[in-house]
Amino acid sequence: MKINVGFLILMGFIIGVITCYFFGKKTILKKYIQLLEKTNNKVKKIIKNAEKKGDSIKKNKIIQAKEKFIELQSKYEKNIHFREKKIKDKENRLSKEIEIYFNKNNRLDAQIYDYEKKFKILKRTKKEFNYIHIKQINLLEKISNYSSEEAKNELINLLKDEAKTKAQTYIQNIIEESQLTAKMEAKKIIIQAIQRIGTEQAIENAVSIFHIESDDVKGRIIGREGRNIRALEKATGVEIIVDDTPEAILLSCFNPIRREVARLSLHKLVIDGRIHPARIEEIVEKTEKQIEEEIIDIGKKNIIDLGIHGIHPQLIKMIGRMKYRSSYGQNLLQHSREVANLSGILASELGLNAKIAKRAGLLHDIGKIPEKETELPHAILGMQYAEKYGENIEVCNAIGSHHDEIEMKVLISPIIQISDSISGARPGIRKNSFESYSKRLKNLEDIAFSFYGVNKAFAIQAGRELRVLVESKKIDDQKAFQLSCDIKEKIKNEMTYPGQIKVTVIRETRAVQIAR
C-alpha cells in the first residue's frame, strides 16, 4: 500500500511541475495545491479503505486460525483421551493379572506349607506305626516263644496269603470283565470245534452201511460199465460208494430218509436178484411209497400213544420223519416222546394243562426236519411250522423259546425247556456209556475232596456242574473264590470231559440255638 501512495505523489508532483511550467507558476501552483489536496484526500481514503480491508482480513484470518486451532486441539485431546483410556485399561488388566498371580502364589505357598505339615505328621505317624509294629513283633515272639527265623517265616507266610488274596481279587475283576466278551469268545470256540471235528461228525451222521453176504454182489450192483449204480444214484439221490471195504457198501447222503430208501431198495434188489435200471426205478418208487406210508403210520401211532388229537397231517409227517433223524447220537423221535411224557407229568403236578404240555413236547424239535434249506435256528423254524399249521399260541411259544431264542410268555414254555434238558442229560443217552459217566462223576467229587476245608461235594446235571460245600470256619469268602479257581484248574489238567463243567463253591454260616 505504501508503494502505491508514493507513486501517486510522485506522479502528482511531476504533473504539477509540468502544469506550472506551461500555465504559470501561480496558476499551476494553485491548481497543483488543489490537485495535491484532492490527491491527498483520495490517498487518505484509499489508505483508510486499505486499513479497513486489512483489519477485516486480519480479523478473518485470526478467526480462521482460532477455529483451526480449536479443531486441532479437539482432535489432539481425543487422541490423548483414547490413548490414556487404552493405557488405563492395560494398567487395570495388568494389575488384575498381578493380583491373580500373587493370589496363586499365596495359595501355592499355603498348599506347600499344608503338604509339608501333613508329610511331617505322616512321617511321625509312620515312625509310631513302625515302633508299635516292632513292639507287637517282639511281644508275639515272647508270647509264642518263636525264634527270629520262625517269626520271619510266619510273617512271610502271612504276606504270601495277603498277596494271594489280592491276586485272587484282581483275577476275579479280570474274570468279571472277560464275561462281557464271553459270548464272542464262545462263538470262536464253537467255530474252532467245528473246524476240528466237523468232518468226523459229517461222516458219522451222513453215511449208512449196507451189508452184503459176499463181494460178488458188488459187481452185480455196479452193473455193466456202472449203469446199475448210476441208475440207483439217480433214482434215490444218494451217492453209493463201492470200494475195498469187505462185505459192505457205503450210502452217503445228508438226508436220512433218502439213505433209508436206498438201503431198503438195495436190500430188495439183492434178494430179488434182478438188478437192472428198469427194475431199480420200479423198486425205488415202491420203496418211497412204502417209506412215506410208514412215516405217516409212525406219526399217527405216536400221537395216539401220547393221547394227542387234532394235529395237522403235515405235522404228523414231520413227527414220522423224526424216526430217521438223530441229534447228538440220540434218536429224535425217541427224544421227543421222552420230552412229551416228562412235560405232561410236570404239567400235571403243577396243575397245568397236561395235553398242551405233551403236544408242545412232541413238537418242540420239528424245526430239525426242514422242508427246505434255511438259516433259521431250529426252534424258530419249528415255531413257524406250528403257526403255519394252526397250533395254538402256547404251543408255538413253547417251541420257539425252548432254547431262549424268544421270550417265554406262558408257563408251559419253561416246562418244555426243563424236559428237553432232562432228556438230553440222561446218562448214556448221548453216546456216553454208563461206566464212563459214573467214573467221571466220581473223579469230579474226588478232585473236590482233595482240597482243604471241603465238607461235601456233589456232581450234578450229568456231570456238568460240581457243587462244593465248605466249612465256614476254615474257608472265608476270598478263599472260597480261590478254591473254585483251584478246583477248576485241577479239573482242566487232570480230566477229559465233553462241553464244560461249572464249579460252584458254597460257604454257609449257620447260627443254631435251642430254647429249653
Cα separation of 368 and 118, whole Å?
73
Cα separation of 139 and 158, whole Å?
17
What distances in angstroms separate CA 104 from CA 32, 74, 112, 114, one per listed residue? 104, 44, 12, 15
Calculate the average pLDDT of the chain: 78
Cα separation of 311 and 296, whole Å?
12
Banded model confidence at residue 285, pLDDT cuts 50, 70, 90: confident
Least confident of 102-106, 194-198, 200-204: 200-204
Yes or no: say if 259 and 240 are a contact pair by the CB < 8 Å rule. Answer: no
The kind and range of the H/E element at 348 are helix 332-349
Say what the pLDDT of residue 425 is: 65
* Residue 309 backbone zone (phi > 0: left; psi -120 to 50: alpha; other: beta): beta
Banded model confidence at residue 433, pLDDT cuts 50, 70, 90: very low
Coil, helix or strand for 428? coil
Say what the pLDDT of residue 144 is: 63
Banded model confidence at residue 16, pLDDT cuts 50, 70, 90: low
Least confident of 46-60, 98-112, 424-438: 424-438
* Residue 429 confidence (pLDDT) above 60: no
Say what the pLDDT of residue 26 is: 59
Say what the pLDDT of residue 66 is: 82
CATH class of 206-293: alpha beta
The secondary structure of 204-250 as a DSSP string is HHSEEEEE-S-THHHHHHH-GGGHHHHHHHHHH--EEE--S-TTEEE
- What is the percent of the chain with per-residue pLDDT over 90, rounded to a whole number? 0
The secondary structure of 2-59 as a DSSP string is HHHHHHHHHHHHHHHHHHHHHH-HHHHHHHHHHHHHHHHHHHHHHHHHHHHHHHHHHH
Q: Which residues pair with 331 in a beta bridge?
A: 326
Say what the pLDDT of residue 7 is: 72
* Residue 2 confidence (pLDDT) above 60: no
The kind and range of the H/E element at 116 are helix 25-144
Say what the pLDDT of residue 17 is: 65
Mean pLDDT in residue range 412-431: 74
Residue pointed to by grid coordinates 501333613: 118
End-to-end CA distance of the chain: 151
Q: Which residues pair with 313 in a beta bridge?
A: none
Mean pLDDT in residue range 415-434: 67
Instruction: Give the residue among 233, 225, 309 at the shortest CA–CA distance from 266.
Output: 233
Cα separation of 459 and 468, whole Å?
9
Say what the pLDDT of residue 194 is: 58
* Residue 202 confidence (pLDDT) above 80: no
Yes or no: say if 249 and 218 are a contact pair by the CB < 8 Å rule. Answer: yes
Instruction: Give the residue among 367, 304, 363, 355 at the shortest CA–CA distance from 339.
Output: 363
Say what the pLDDT of residue 189 is: 66
The kind and range of the H/E element at 71 are helix 25-144
* Residue 79 confidence (pLDDT) above 80: yes
Range of 60-64, 66-70, 235-239, 395-399 with top mean pLDDT: 395-399
* Residue 25 confidence (pLDDT) above 60: no
Banded model confidence at residue 245, pLDDT cuts 50, 70, 90: low
Q: For the whole model, what pTM was predicted?
A: 0.44
Q: Write down the CATH number for the domain with range 306-425.
A: 1.10.3210.10
Per-residue pLDDT reduced to its tens digit, 134-151:
777 677 666 666 666 666
Strand pairing report for 454-460 and 330-331: unpaired
Instruction: Give the residue among 311, 314, 364 at the shortest CA–CA distance from 336.
Output: 364
Q: Which triple of cell numbers denotes residue 279?
A: 427194475
The kind and range of the H/E element at 493 are helix 477-494
Written as one letter, the residue type at 75 is K
Per-residue pLDDT reduced to its tens digit, 300-348:
888 888 888 888 888 888 888 888 777 666 778 888 888 888 888 888 8
Coil, helix or strand for 176? helix
Q: What are phi and psi of 237, to 5 degrees?
A: 75, 25
Which residues, including other chains, have CB under 8 Å from residue 31's CB and lie 6 or more apart? 16, 19, 23
* Residue 4 confidence (pLDDT) above 70: no
Say what the pLDDT of residue 308 is: 87
Yes or no: say if 417 and 357 are a contact pair by the CB < 8 Å rule. Answer: no
Cα separation of 280 and 266, whole Å?
9
Mean pLDDT in residue range 242-261: 74
Which residues, including other chains, have CB under 8 Å from residue 240's CB and lie 6 or more apart? 221, 229, 232, 233, 249, 250, 251, 252, 262
Say what the pLDDT of residue 328 is: 64
Q: Which residues pair with 503 in a beta bridge?
A: 466
Say what the pLDDT of residue 205 is: 58
Is the CATH code 3.30.70.1350 the one for domain 435-508?
A: yes
Say what the pLDDT of residue 330 is: 72
Cα separation of 246 and 293, whole Å?
34
Q: Which residues pair with 459 in a beta bridge?
A: 466
Which residues, including other chains, have CB under 8 Å from residue 25's CB and lie 6 or more apart? none
Yes or no: say if 320 and 334 are a contact pair by the CB < 8 Å rule. Answer: no
Banded model confidence at residue 432, pLDDT cuts 50, 70, 90: very low
Mean pLDDT in residue range 90-115: 79
Q: Which residues pair with 454 in a beta bridge?
A: 470
Cα separation of 238 and 210, whole Å?
13
Say what the pLDDT of residue 145 is: 65
* Residue 430 confidence (pLDDT) above 60: no
Per-residue pLDDT reduced to its tens digit, 444-496:
888 989 988 888 888 876 677 888 988 888 888 888 888 888 898 888 888 87
Cα separation of 131 and 139, whole Å?
12
User: Which DSSP category does 182 fall into?
Assistant: H
